[in-house]
Structure formats: C-alpha cells, structure tokens
Structure 1
Amino acid sequence: MNDHNLALLTVGEVLAAFVPDAGKAFRRAHSLHRFTVGAEANVAVAVSRLGLPSTCISRVGSDLLGEAILDDLRQEGVNVSAVHVDPSAFTGSLMRETPAPGSTRVTYRRSGSAGSQLSRSQISRELIQAHSHVHVSGVTAALGPEPLDTIRALFDEAHSLGRVRSFDMNYRSQLWSPEDAGPVLRECAEMADIVIGGRTEWDIAFGSEEAGVAALDDQTLAVVTDGAREIRSYRGNEQLTQTPFPSQVVDPVGAGDGFVGGLLAGLMAGLDTSGAIRQGAYCGSRVVAELGDWAGLPFGVGGTVDIPEDDGAVQR
C-alpha cells in the first residue's frame, strides 16, 4: 500500500455534549461548555492531530448542533465529506457532569437522532479503498440493527480490500444490557484485526480476558485496558504490558478514545506494537488532563508524537 493511502476511516454517531466546569454539578451550572464527541469521531480527531488523514462517516441533523459539529471536525482536519446532513432528523446530544472524581453522570438525547440511523448505503468500496484502516466501536453496534449491519458491511468490504479493521468494544450500559451486548461485541471483535476493550468488556464479550484472547485469530492484536492498572496486549506469542502515564485527572471521559487514536496512528506510522501502545497510553493521559473528550490530545507529525523519556514503560 502506498504511503499516500495511510488514512483512517471511522463510522459512528457524532454528538454535541454540554458540560459544566469540572467539579460542578450540572444543575448548579449557569453556563456550559459545548463539545463535539463520539467514540469514533474522537479517534478520528486523535489521528488527525497526530498528523495522518482521517475521515468520518456519520449523520447529523440539519440544525445548529449539526453545523457546529461539522465545523469542529473540519477545524481539527477531519474529512467530513461523508457525513450526511439529514433534514428530517435531529442531531444527537448529551449532558454530562463530573462533580467529583469517579462520579461522572451522562444523560443522552439520541433515540431517533440522525446519527442513530446510520446505514450500509453510506459505505462505499471507493471510500474504503482510499483508506488503509477502518475503525468502529461497540457504541455504533448498540444503536440498532441497521448500524450493526453497517459495521458488517464496512468490515466485509475492508477485508476484501486488504484494509486493517479495528474495533473498540466500548460497552455503554445506558444503550444495552450485557446479555444483549455480549454476542454482538464478540461477533464484531472476531471480524477485526485489532480489538481493544476494557477488562469488563472482554468479560461481557467472551467470558474472560483469557477466553477472548484464545478465541481470536493468532494474528489479531488484542488489547486490554484496565483503568489505572497496566495495559496488556496479545498477538501470537507476544505479550506486552504498558504502565499508564501519570496524569492529573480533570475529566476522565475520552481517555479510551485517545488511547485508541494514539495506538492506531502509531501502527499506521510504522511503530512496533510496544511503541504504538506506549503512544496510545500517552495520548489517553493527555486527554484526561483537560475538560472535553479531545481538547488535551497532543499534536504530532506523520502519526507519531515525542513522548517524555521518563514516562511510561513497556514490559515484555
């Protein structure tokens, strides 16, 4: 694949988030910050900030929030030409607060939104062919049968073209139960070349981390995040651990997407697995240090960023 084809294609709903200052309850706030968020969009922004092209397939309403989302993504260098503006549906949104460490609460307004109506008609062979990697998350799979079918179409076409497929399990309890999510997350994971998930998500999809690693193809890169504990990765006979980077947490939301974006950009740029995971961990640590899902993401060149030498160590 030629270098000019190194680019990431993501598929998923993009939302407008309304968030008070860190440490403040939503009901006590007289002013709010507006952010553009969404698991896949956050990853696209991370890859773009690190210096590689990214494209987002999504749907927004023909409304002020949709216009703001498109403007935010354009300013971050994300290609939004594949985002459909739907005049008959509204742009999804969420309200979020973190009044104290570990107490984040989220309320969604996304049922029936434009983004929840993603369809396989938005997936084209030509668009996938223009990208080296495709990425989606379990959030999209949770939105309903049609978005799930969109994932299947994306991964099938990407596989036929020899593109790298990544899947972040990203379980959201407000969208579906563990019983409903488990079989779907497993199906999507088994179609992917790179699978990322928290320890609990591996339990939901496969019963355990060990069972999940055993169920996947030997050449699949399986990555397990575990909060403040070490990150673990498996591929064939190679097992790595990565110590998370220290960070003062202002807003914990978005750390996982920052990790995924840093990991994927590193792999796209040619870093080995340990280097890419280290970069992902660094990006995740930068996200939580600022309010918003990607405000703190670092900037890089060609898919990589300089990381302080005394932070985070990979162990084999």
Structure 2
Amino acid sequence: MSSPFKVLTIGDAMITLNPAVKGPLRYVTQFERKVGGAELNFAIGCARLGLGSKWISRLGEDEFGRVIYNFTRGEGVDVSGVEFVNGCPTSLNFKEINEDGSGKTYYYRYNSPILTMAPDMIHERLLEEVDLVHLTGVFLAIDPKNIEITKKIIEVAKRKNIPISFDPNIRLKLWSIEEARKAYNSIFPHVDILLTGLDEIRLISGMEAEDELAMFAREYGIKDLVIKDGANGSKLFRDGKWTRAESFLVTPIDTVGAGDGFDAGYVYGWLNGFSKERLLKFANGVGALVTTVSGDNEGLPYLNEVNAFIDDELIIER
C-alpha cells in the first residue's frame, strides 16, 4: 500500500557503464549500460517503498537523456521537475568493481546539463504537497552555483515548514575537503536529519566519539544525527540519547548505492513514525539488500521485500 507522504530531491543523473568483469578498469572490454546518480537512486528507493517521490534535474537532449527520463518515470518517480537541455551531453560514469564488491567510479561530467540550473528556477510550486526535502553533497560539489540553488530550496522548504534531510555524500574527486566543509557548515543549521557515514563525519568535523558527535548535533540544532557504519551497523542521536542497530549479515556483490538506499529507508520510516529501533533496523535492511545486487539502483527493494528480510519471514519461491 502506498504511503500518503511525498519526498523531493534534486541532483544530477548519469548513464552508468558497469563492467562485465571485476578488476582494474584498464582490462575491462565490455560494459552494461545502466542509470545512476545519488539523488536519483534515493528518489527511486523512496518510490519502491511506496512514497510519493519527486526528482528535479536537467538532462541532455540526447538518447542517453531519454533513457534516464523514461527509466525514472517508469519507476513511478514524478519527473515534472526534469527538463531537457540542448548542447549539454548527458553525464556518464564508468564503474570499477573489485572482487570483494568495493570499487571506484570515474566521472565524465564536463558541461553537464545540471550546470544550466540557477537559483531563480526554484519556485514554490516545485515543493507543493511535499512532506520532506532530501539534499546531498554530490549536487553541491558539481558546481559552486549549486550551493545557492540548494539554499533557495531550503528557504522555500523552511517557509513551508517542510523538514530537510541531508547526506554529505563526499566526492573528493569533485572538490576539496576545505570547500566541502565550508559548504556543509552553511547547510547544517537548516538540517533536521543528517545521514552520514562515520568516515564522512570524521573527515568533515574531526569528531568520531559519541560525546563529540552529540555536541556537534546540538551545535547545529540537528534533530536526528544518523551515523552509517557499514558492517558495524548504524546509530541515531535524538533527544540526548543514542540508539544503535546491528547490521544484517549479507554477502556484498556491489556496495554502490547502499548509502542512498539506507537514506530512502530512513526517510520512509521517519515519515511513517517508526520507533527509533525499528527506524534503524529498517534502514539497515534496505542498505543491506542493495549490496546483494550489482548496479546503482537495481537492488533497491520494495516494501514487502524489506519487511520480509528484516523480520526473517519465510518467502515461498515455488
């Protein structure tokens, strides 16, 4: 059953070329075409869980742009905020996957269509009937102008009393840590839910101990500080207390998109009023399921799949 809640996100999308074999990219001769992008993955993850999901972006007026648009619309995401742009090719990335499921991503984003966006393109109507806005550091990193676009979205969201979740999602191939910190510090005071990896928050703030992180959350007025820590599970600081949840034991095939899936799971549970324990368990389950399938968003699960997985229900296959 669909949830009555609707989320909105903004960001780039790319054609992802997945290698046919594992190992260094220089030895790969065949690729499979997929669709990817952190914010797009989040939007699809939310839609599969049953949330209303809206994505704002720009795509090249080309065949790859049409692939992304049609794929996203087919997943049930509202693409009314997506426009096609002439003269700017749709972005690409090539993935390199190691034997243990970890990997690297190589981006080809020069003259990306997303660069044609400007703060004055953000209007109140884009946020109509939206219950939560989700932002990430990937969009911020692509171009300095995107920081102002993000702040315009925040301004409109705050005027409408719409809560904001934020995932720093650091991309040091796109900007320096000093540039990232400066941008994040301007965003944090407006964030209700911060979803970050332990390594990320350590890099951003220099903090990792729980008392330090609690102080960080209080300093910026962050209601939910959520720490994602892979196989070590996750934890939440809310109302002066920490809540923890163990990870699920799976054999990872491809870890790309797991954080985006976790974010979608957390936002779903948060909007639907889950207890803190169930909230973390649900988000951990979504993230774990993503790693069991190769691809950026192919492993994003549907609601019944998550519930069956985290509650250890027997699934009848034949």
Listed as ranges, the matches of 1:165-176 within 5 Å are: 165-176=164-175
2:148 counterpart SS class:
helix
Instruction: Quote the offset at 1:78 in angstroms.
Output: 0.7
How many Å separate the matches in 1 of 2:19 and 2:34? 11
Instruction: Quote the offset at 1:75 in angstroms.
Output: 1.3
Instruction: Quote the offset at 1:221 in angstroms.
Output: 0.3
The answer to whether residue 249 in structure 2 is matched with residue 250 in structure 1 is: no
Listed as ranges, the matches of 1:21-100 within 5 Å are: 21=20, 23-100=22-99
| Amino acid in the other structure paired with 1:255 | A
Instruction: Quote the offset at 1:200 in angstroms.
Output: 2.0
**What do residues 204-243 of structure 1 show as CA deviations (whole Å, max 9, x unaligned)?**
3222145443133456100111221131110122311111
Q: Which residue of 2 aligns with 1:314?
A: none
Q: Match for 1:232 among 231, 235, 247?
A: 235
2:233 counterpart SS class:
strand
Kept in 2, the 8 Å contact 1:298–1:305? The answer is no
Kept in 1, the 8 Å contact 2:188–2:222? The answer is no
Q: Which residue of 2 aligns with 1:281?
A: 284
Q: Which residue of 2 aligns with 1:180?
A: 179
* Alpha carbons of structure 1 residues 74 and 248: separation in structure 2 relative to 1, 3 Å: same
How many Å separate the matches in 1 of 2:121 and 2:309? 37
Name the % identity.
28
Kept in 2, the 8 Å contact 1:8–1:131? The answer is yes
Q: Which residue of 1 aligns with 2:203?
A: 204
How many Å separate the matches in 2 of 1:253 and 1:13? 16
Kept in 2, the 8 Å contact 1:223–1:232? The answer is yes
- Deviating more after overlay: 91-100 vs 281-290: 91-100
Kept in 2, the 8 Å contact 1:141–1:148? The answer is yes
Kept in 2, the 8 Å contact 1:57–1:122? The answer is no
User: What TM-score do you get using the length of structure 2 for normalisation?
Assistant: 0.90
Q: Which residue of 2 aligns with 1:192?
A: 191
Kept in 1, the 8 Å contact 2:102–2:254? The answer is no
Instruction: Quote the offset at 1:171 in angstroms.
Output: 0.4
Q: Which residue of 2 aligns with 1:215?
A: 216
| Amino acid in the other structure paired with 1:309 | D
Query: Which segments of 5 or more consecutive residues in structure 2 lack a partner in the other structure?
Result: 314-318
How many Å separate the matches in 1 of 2:301 and 2:11? 23
Q: Which residue of 1 aligns with 2:316?
A: none
Kept in 2, the 8 Å contact 1:55–1:80? The answer is yes
How many Å separate the matches in 2 of 1:105 and 1:304? 27
Instruction: Quote the offset at 1:162 in angstroms.
Output: 0.7
* Alpha carbons of structure 1 residues 297 and 80: separation in structure 2 relative to 1, 3 Å: same
Q: Which residue of 1 aligns with 2:13?
A: 14
Pairwise CA RMSD = 2.1
**What do residues 20-40 of structure 1 show as CA deviations (whole Å, max 9, x unaligned)?**
135254344343121211111
The answer to whether residue 265 in structure 2 is matched with residue 262 in structure 1 is: yes
| Amino acid in the other structure paired with 1:122 | M
